[in-house]
């Protein structure tokens, strides 16, 4: 077995092309939860898993599950998974790469009659992105026993509830609580994913071992100042909501740039009913804070909150902060980092370690079982969530071989 064989890589990319035919739009790849395109993609995945010799099912939340049982009925279960839904105008590899890569490894094991000493479940999670119902990790949260029942009441843009959508798709939402796996039955959770960033590209490495998945806090801010005529209110007497927002935005950028292991983004910024000759009386903005560990995240959030209060006081504005999400950081298990690093080394490659700034299905399994992640290099400067997203067959092949090595040496 050599790194340059390419047999896994070409197969993975062919499957990704085939799966991308199912889209809600002929002009772009969009495949959101339980739309006809999504259900067609699930049908393909189920058929491919069955052809690879797996016992298959589509569960109550729409996950496609393939299983190969070990000879020992009492063995524990390795879950390898990622998601098959997409954002709007997506690339072909976010989430799906990990599913299809693992599928080719299963095909290889079955074709060569290789047995694993544990049960193997390959799970294509039905929803991770949160696009249709503004609810992320629907598929993986159900398997981890963390599905939020309130999600079933959420409605899409057409006013259809998630419960109704599931029922129309032939799923039983009342059976979702039964999907949660028992932690005593699980061996570990492994996920392969494109990096969705430029670190591996810059380092010229095809794969990398994820050390942690960043914790994340998201806020929406409403800043109320005092509107006024742009030509009559002296600068020193203004209570400009947009200027306060600008000061907050620059603080987030500069503060996170000076704190290793943190990221900060203002992705939404608006002046409602703004006019060219009116001092902004209201401004709204979002803040997305991320950090490699929970202590650092809490400190970053506290420092940012204190600065928001200082800016509000100094500018004479009122700032309302609404927290819309808080996800703790997930540290990948040391033993699985070592397992993946050793597998990479056996292929004669450097084991590059890096943090994931993005969230992944793996976060749902933190505290349920040990979690490990392998990143695969992105092309095009690391662009993801875009049709410009690329992965080479050579890199996909390397990643598949790393996963195969890891699975065969997992104990």
DSSP 288-352: EEEESSHHHHHHHHHHHHHHHHHHHHHHT-EEEEEEEEEE--EEPPHHHHHHHHHHHHHTT---E
Gyration radius (Cα) of the chain, Å? 23
Give the up-direction half-sphere exposure of residue 304: CA atoms within 13 A in the CB hemisphere: 34
Domain ranges of the chain: 7-214+329-409, 220-327
Distances (CA, A) of 252 to 43, 264, 301: 44, 6, 10
- The answer regarding whether domain 220-327 maps to CATH 3.20.20.20 reads no
pLDDT at residue 1, as a whole number: 37
pLDDT at residue 111, as a whole number: 94
Short-list 67, 220, 32, CA closest to 139: 32
Distances (CA, A) of 363 to 121, 224, 366: 18, 36, 5
Residue pLDDT tens, the chain, 411 long = 344 456 899 999 999 999 999 999 999 999 999 999 999 999 999 999 999 999 999 999 999 999 999 999 999 999 999 999 999 999 999 999 999 999 999 999 999 999 999 999 999 999 999 999 989 999 999 999 999 999 999 999 999 999 999 999 999 999 999 999 999 999 999 999 999 999 999 999 999 999 999 999 999 999 999 999 999 999 999 999 999 999 999 999 999 999 999 999 999 999 999 999 999 999 999 999 999 999 999 999 999 999 999 999 999 999 999 998 899 999 999 999 999 999 999 999 999 999 999 999 999 999 999 999 999 999 999 999 999 999 999 999 999 999 999 999 998
Residues of 251-279 as b/e, b for ≥16 C-beta within 10 angstroms?
bbeebbeeeebbbbbbeeeebeeeeeeeb
pLDDT at residue 4, as a whole number: 46
Output DSSP code: residue 173. Answer: G
pLDDT at residue 10, as a whole number: 96
pLDDT at residue 6, as a whole number: 65
Short-list 71, 65, 55, CA closest to 114: 71
Short-list 377, 339, 337, CA closest to 353: 337
> First-to-last CA distance in the chain?
22
pLDDT at residue 5, as a whole number: 57
The whole-angstrom separation of Cα 346 and Cα 101 is 19
pTM: 0.89
What's the count of helices (H) and strands (E) in the chain, helices before strands? 10, 16
Q: What is the largest CA-CA distance in the chain?
A: 83
The whole-angstrom separation of Cα 153 and Cα 163 is 7
Short-list 16, 18, 10, CA closest to 97: 16
The whole-angstrom separation of Cα 65 and Cα 75 is 18
Instruction: Please report how the helices 334-346 and 393-409 are oriented relative to each other, as an axis angle in degrees rounded to 10.
Output: 120
**CATH superfamily name and code, 7-214+329-409:** Zn peptidases (3.40.630.10)
Distances (CA, A) of 108 to 192, 392, 395: 17, 20, 18
Element containing residue 58 per DSSP (H, E)? strand 55-58
């Amino acid at each position: 077995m050599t790194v340059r064989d390419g047999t896994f890589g070409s197969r993975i990319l062919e499957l990704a092309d085939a799966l991308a035919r199912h889209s809600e739009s002929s002009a772009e790849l969009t495949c959101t939860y339980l739309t006809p395109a999504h259900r067609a993609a699930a049908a393909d995945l189920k058929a491919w898993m069955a052809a690879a010799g797996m016992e298959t099912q589509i569960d109550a939340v729409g996950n496609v599950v393939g299983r190969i049982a070990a000879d020992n009925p009492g063995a524990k279960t390795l879950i390898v998974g990622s998601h098959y839904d997409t954002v709007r105008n997506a690339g072909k590899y976010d989430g799906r790469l990990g599913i299809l890569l693992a599928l080719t490894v299963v095909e290889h094991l079955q074709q060569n009659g290789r047995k694993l000493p544990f049960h193997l479940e390959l799970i294509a999670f039905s929803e991770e992105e949160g696009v249709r119902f503004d609810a992320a990790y629907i598929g993986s949260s159900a398997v981890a026993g963390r599905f939020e029942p309130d999600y079933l009441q959420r409605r899409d843009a057409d006013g259809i509830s998630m419960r109704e959508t599931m029922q129309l798709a032939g799923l039983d939402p009342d059976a979702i609580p039964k999907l949660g796996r028992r932690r005593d039955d699980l061996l570990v959770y492994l996920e392969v994913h494109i990096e969705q960033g430029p670190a591996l590209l810059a380092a010229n490495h095809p794969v990398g071992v994820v050390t942690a998945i960043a914790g994340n806090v998201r806020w929406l801010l409403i800043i109320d100042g005092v509107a006024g005529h742009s030509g009559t209110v002296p600068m020193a007497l203004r209570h400009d909501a947009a200027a306060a927002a600008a000061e907050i935005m620059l603080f987030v950028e500069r503060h996170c740039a000076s704190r290793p292991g943190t990221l900060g983004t203002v992705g939404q910024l608006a002046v409602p009913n703004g006019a060219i000759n009116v001092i902004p009386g209201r401004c709204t903005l979002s803040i997305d804070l991320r950090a490699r560990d929970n202590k650092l995240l809490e400190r970053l959030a506290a420092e940012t909150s204190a600065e928001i209060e200082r800016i509000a006081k100094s500018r004479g504005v009122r700032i309302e902060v609404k927290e819309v999400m808080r996800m703790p950081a997930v540290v990948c298990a040391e033993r699985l980092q070592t397992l993946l690093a050793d597998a990479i080394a056996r292929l004669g490659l450097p084991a590059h370690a890096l943090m994931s700034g993005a969230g992944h299905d793996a976060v749902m399994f933190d505290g349920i079982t040990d979690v490990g992640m392998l990143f695969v290099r992105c092309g095009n400067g690391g662009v993801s969530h875009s049709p410009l997203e690329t992965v080479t067959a050579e890199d996909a092949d390397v990643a598949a071989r790393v996963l195969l090595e890891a699975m065969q040496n997992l104990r």
